[in-house]
Amino acid sequence: MGTSTALFLARRGCDVTLVDREGAAMRATSRWNEGKIHLGYLYGADSSLNTARHVIPGGLMFGSLLEQLIGRDLDSHTTSQDDIYLVHRDSVVGTQVVRAQFRAVSELVRQHPDASRYLTDVSAARATELSPAELRAIAGDDIVAGLRVPERSVNTRWVADQLVAAIDAEDRVTLQTGTEVLGVDGLPDGRWRLRADGGFADEFDVVVNALWNGRLPIDVTAGVTPEPPWSHRYRLCVFARTREVVDVDSAIVAVGPFGDVKNYNGRDFYLSWYPVGLMAEGSDLELSAPETPTGVELERFLDGVRSGLGAVMPGIGRVFDHAEEVTVNGGFVFARGAGSIGDPASGLHRRDRYGVQRFGSYFSVDTGKYSTAPWLAERLAKEIAE
């Protein structure tokens, strides 16, 4: 969100300072996730369809806006086949509900004027149910249904590298890395003084707080009161590259014991099994990242992902068997909701409260989803520049 906003502002003639606590830009959560470009199907427990309505505009425009920012085509770094949503027997919503919800979401997608601008043309979007034979070919006994939907995902590590290159090439952006913001103080003239570690301090006409974890404490220093409820989570995932092409579908076990597989190009994979990947959670203003496991703990984590996913997608073992490179990393998940993902009434099953909060010329951005960042950034940059 911060990188996209900086680029859009710079290209509108604004001078921008981009501050990052890491040693380089795009090294945290935006680099280490599945890159699903949401159209709303994931939130099958939100019967109001408000989440789908909220994520569809940004998801449809993600590809074209990102290509503007990086000057590169995304095709070879995007999953090429429809995602498969697998319904677990312990899902928080049943198969009949999922079918009806997916029909309704598909109708919303088809009706949208930008439907042809998605990573693939979704102007005729449909959720197609797998036959019993198709389901048994890819899924374990605990999976009771499967539906294909026209969602795609991008390789977030590649996208991160391209955005870093775009920042490096932009003369109007000053990148201030290795600097953690401690607070933002309002000045009598309406400007803002930013305080950071290492003695860094400067004054700005506009401040955009695009932090993912750590956003709320900075909001408090600027005089913005966070609105509960909210929750922070930290989850680990597996990023694997295989020696040879492995034919495994991109699939997600949704609204139940959550798991995710992304096959970007036959050799690069994202693998997540939520029950073992969830490392920390809380509802304080900020959550501390746990240590990434090493040694025996790392092996235990990898075994947990393999066995958990393998029970619902037996073919996933081939990714591990043919892996030449395995990286374990993760990131934060912020949501304006509370409760357990296993509770049908939990606010985590909807994502329709994100967006921009304004306090004078201070802007606090709850990005919501990775897929909505470029869309939100373009709109915010236009507002600020004008």
The CATH code belonging to domain 2-160+228-349 is 3.30.9.10
Q: Tens digit of pLDDT for each residue in 72-82?
A: 999 999 999 99
Average pLDDT, the chain: 96
Reading the block at residue 318, the tokens are 């081939």
Residue 357 burial class via C-beta count within 10 angstroms: exposed 0-12, middle 13-18, buried 19 and up: middle
Instruction: Tell me what the mean pLDDT of segment 307-330 comes to.
Output: 96
Question: Using one digit for the tens of pLDDT, what is the confidence trace for 269-316?
Answer: 999 999 999 999 999 999 999 999 999 999 999 999 999 999 999 999
Which one has a higher pLDDT value, 341 or 219?
A: 219
Are the C-beta atoms of 207 and 361 separated by less than 8 Å?
yes
The C-alpha atoms of residue 85 and residue 127 are separated, in whole angstroms, by: 10
Instruction: Give burial (CB, 10 Å; 0-12/13-18/19+) of 252.
Output: buried
pLDDT of residue 180: 96
Of 114, 128, 118, 129, residue with least CA distance to 79: 118
Q: What is the mean pLDDT of residues 216-226?
A: 96
Is residue 358 helix, strand or coil?
strand
Binning pLDDT at 50, 70 and 90, where does residue 339 land? confident
pLDDT at 212: 94
Give residue 340's pLDDT: 84
Which amino acid would we find at residue 317? G
For 12-28, give one letter per residue: b (16+ CB within 10 A) or e: eebebebbbbeeebbbb
Percent of the chain beyond pLDDT 90? Answer: 93
Q: CA 273, 79, 301: angle at the middle one, nearest 5?
A: 20
Percentage above 70 pLDDT, the chain: 100
pLDDT value, residue 44: 87
pLDDT 10s digits, 224-261 = 999 999 999 999 999 999 999 999 999 999 877 799 99
Q: Phi and psi dihedrals of 359, rounded to 5?
A: -140, 90
Instruction: Give dist(CA 26, CA 211) in Å, integer.
Output: 12
Which phi and psi angles does 43 have, rounded to 5°? -95, 60
The pLDDT of residue 109 is above 90: yes
Q: What is the pLDDT of residues 136-165, one digit of tens each?
A: 999 999 999 999 999 999 999 999 999 999
Q: How far apart are CA 383 and CA 386, in angstroms?
A: 5
- pLDDT for 178 equals 96
Confidence of residue 183 (pLDDT cuts 50, 70, 90): very high
Q: Establish whether the linkage from the previous residue to 229 is cis, with ω within 30° of 0.
A: yes
Residue 111 has pLDDT above 80, yes or no: yes
Q: Would you state the structure tokens that stand for residue 320, as one six-digit string?
A: 């591990």
Helix (DSSP H) and strand (DSSP E) numbers for the chain = 10, 19
Strand partners, 24: none
pLDDT of 386 over the 90 cut: yes
CA distances from 187 to 219, 226, 361 (A): 15, 21, 11
∠ at Cα 58 (55, 60), nearest 5°?
Answer: 100
Distances (CA, A) of 268 to 28, 78, 194, 325, 368: 19, 11, 40, 10, 26
Contacts of 56 (CB under 8 A, 6+ apart): 39, 40, 108, 109, 112
pLDDT at 348: 86
Res 346: pLDDT: 87
Two structure tokens written together for 239: 């990023």
pLDDT over threshold 80, residue 116 = yes
In the predicted structure, residue 204 carries a pLDDT above the cut 80: yes
